[in-house]
Structures are given as C-alpha cells and as structure tokens.
Structure 1
C-alpha cells in the first residue's frame, strides 16, 4: 500500500514551481490550507522534511530536491497514461507501421511523419525500408498499415504519390566517363552495373536496364551509392538521393543516347481504408501535402 498519492506530489511540485503556498493556491485553484495539509501529510508519511519556509518563500531541502526530481518523472508518466487512455477512447491507434521504398525522398517523408507526431505525440511510428515490391508484400501480409512502393498493387488501394527522377551516374574517374559521348547501351554493357535487390521474399522484380555483362547486386540503396562513389561500377540512382554527391564531385552524370534520365512512379498502398485510424489518415494527408510539388504522371503529361 502506497503511503503517498499523486495529488500530494502535484501540490508539492506546485509549491516549488510557483514559489510558495499562496502562489500555488492561485495557480492550481486549491485553497492554501489544502495544499499546506497535503505537503505536511507527504512529509509525515515519508519521514523527511521536503520544504522549509525562509521569509515568505518555501525552499527545498536537500531531501526535497531529490524527491522533486523523482516525483516530476512520476507525474509526467501519470499524465502520459491519462493521455494514452484518452487517445484509445477516441479510437486513435497507438502504433503506425509504414513501409517505405528506399528511393522515396526523405525530406518529404520526415516532414509528413513530424506532422503526424505533432498531432498525436504518443503515437509510436515504425518505418520499414524496402526496395521495389517489398512494401507491397508487407502491406499484403498485414505487417504494416501503409506502404509506399514503386510497384502498383491492385489488391486494395494504390494511389500515385509522385514520380522520382533516376539518373545514370558513375564516379568521375570511372572508365565510362572517359569515352566519347553520347554513350550507347553497347558502350556501357561491358562495364559493371550496380543493382539493388528487390526486398520482397515471395517474389523478386528486376527494374531498370540490366543489360550489363557484369553486375553486382546489393540489398540497400546506400550500398549502391557507396559502391558507385568508390568506382566499382555505374548505376541509375534517384536524383534526390545523390544530388549532393553530384554537386560535390563524387558522382558524375553519364551522357547516354537514351535513358540518361528515367522516371519511376511511387504509389501509396493500403488494403482497407475503413481499417485505417485517424493517425494513419493524418499521415496520408500530410504525405500528399508534402509531395504536392513533386512531379506526377499527370503533371508530366500536361507539360508534354
């Protein structure tokens, strides 16, 4: 059986925060005698002196300073529990799982996540980074609530969010960069291509030109970028992910006769809209807002 209550600790903290019993009384709308009695009862139950009055101001004792630190944490946790209960009562999910294609622009993704977290501070968000159809597989198997993938999935709902620009690149001293341009596919197929493996377990989809006679396949986009920067091969990379590498001279655009630039659609995918909670819907809204400046097939067709 606990000797103290959260209300006693709250009143003790109020006295400290506001500098006295009278000030605390006005701040938390309790009578001064009620607050004084609560703190006195707290001290009696613990057998320690928490406050001492110097002049007209209540000051912490050494024991009081230690107890204040611990009780502040206790009160914060109690507030979180109540907030969590309120969230559950309103039907807001406590956990949001998102599968995201590694090529998807991080700036827009992180801003969308931050927007949702501001609305639902207690929401736990899990990101699963995938390649090609990996996000679709996680959505289909119910391991995530939402997926963003470069592969359209006709099971459930798929919406084009944007199109990503991919460019052919190599490091400046890679042999391909020394050849006369523009380069044909015949020119480049004898050089090593760095390819990123589909992260789906049940099926694997190859994407992009795979005509190189030599090929290294890796599991992550970051590994592909690193290998190309170090001169082990060439690749088509999402421009947003390597823009800084190009500006700083670690990567160089390849001038090809065809296919120097390619566009890959990114789709938002989920199974059942009725099963999505407020937080998931808030994320979708935020994602649409953050990506509205990015190109889509509709915008590209309108320009053409």
Structure 2
C-alpha cells in the first residue's frame, strides 16, 4: 500500500508541474510564436548628440546659463530682468537688499536638469548658515513654497539630515553625502516628474525626483510629499507647468556661484506607448 501511495504522489506531482508548461503552449492549430512578434521598430527615438565632455549640454538641451548672460532668467518676485552677477563665466547670487531669488522665464513639467554650484572657499558660519541656497524644481508662484532641492556646505558641517545638501528639504534624507570641499565645483543631475492633478485640483499622481550629487545617487525616485515648508507638513497645490528657481537665501555667509545650467524636456509623448 505504501508503494502505491508513493506512486500516486509522484504522478500527482509530475502532473502539477506539467500543467503550467502545457498552459503556455499555443492552442491546437495556432501558429508558433516568432521572435518578430515582440520586436518594435516605430516610433524611432530621436537622435541626441551628447555633450563633448561630461556635464556639457546635449544637442536637445535648453541652455539656461552658459556663462554669458541672464537672458533665460527673471526676478522671481516681479518677473523683471534678473539682477544676479555674471562675471568670468560664472553666475553669483546678488545679496543686495531687494534683489532676491531668480527663476527661469520658461516653465517646465517633466525634465532632466544639470546644474553646477560652488560654495566659496572662505565660507564662514555653521549649520544652515553656511552657504545656504536651493534649487526649486518647480516654482509655483510668489506666495507658494515650491519644491526645494537643498544647497548647502556639508563637507564638514553638521545640520539636520533632511536639510543637508542633496536633501529634498524637510522631506527626504540623502542616501549619501558626496560633498566636495568649499571652493570646489559641485553638480546636481536631476530627473523631475511633476505631479498631476484632477480637474477639481485634487492630487492625481505625486511628483517623483531622482538626484545625482557629484555623480552619486542621493535621491532614488523619491515620492515627493508636497511643497517645501520650513514649518509644518508638506501639501500639494495644483499647478500645470512651473519655472525653475534659484534661491538667494539671505544669510550672512558668502554668496554662492552657479555655472553650466541646462534642461531637457521629458514631458511624456503618448506616441511612445507600445500599441
């Protein structure tokens, strides 16, 4: 009896293992699948010529600052011409009273951003008062907080970790601290997926952000919780497209500098969905 039971168990096991394989076979009379069935030839991706050097803008980039002028920027307060300082190919924060933040003339939705920034070598202060600035990935209006990627000297400067360089301010702690010394150029490479909203203004899908800091991933497709707030919990407020903003923080530390700023539009093209 034991031998018969073992045979039945073996037979049942083999049948159970065989069923999934049988289920995957084409129906009787159906043509056998071919490798061409899963090969797609259209739409053909556009050719993009990469930059000649690492960090240089590719051929389809919108160059926001190439060292020559501020033609792509305005005052974030009143949209008058931007008044930050351009010299020797570098853009430096103007800390004069009333100058304030600057933002792009153009508005963006989903995009890839490259920006380089430098903390002065003679920086003083500590904590948040040490080279504080920010890249606002969507500047949604003068009265709104926007969405801030923090800029700060964190080479040897302790602060709260969700407010250090590479953080989504007060929301996401960076995965690493690859900061260089003050006086050396740093880089952010950002992939920003903007939030979507329903017709009544309610949130449909949240924003997501990936950030490379000096080539190191510090935010990996982080789900943004809402606008940046210094006090209180973040929340979403409906918008469609928005400029990118650079912050003049107003602390007493030496002003920061920026260079080589460019952006690529990544807004979804429905023609790229597989039919």
Bin for the TM-score computed over the shorter chain: under 0.3
Normalised to the residue count of structure 2, the TM-score between the two structures is 0.23
Normalised to the residue count of structure 1, the TM-score between the two structures is 0.21
**Of the two, which has the highest radius of gyration?**
1
Higher helix fraction (1 or 2): 1
Higher strand fraction (1 or 2): 2
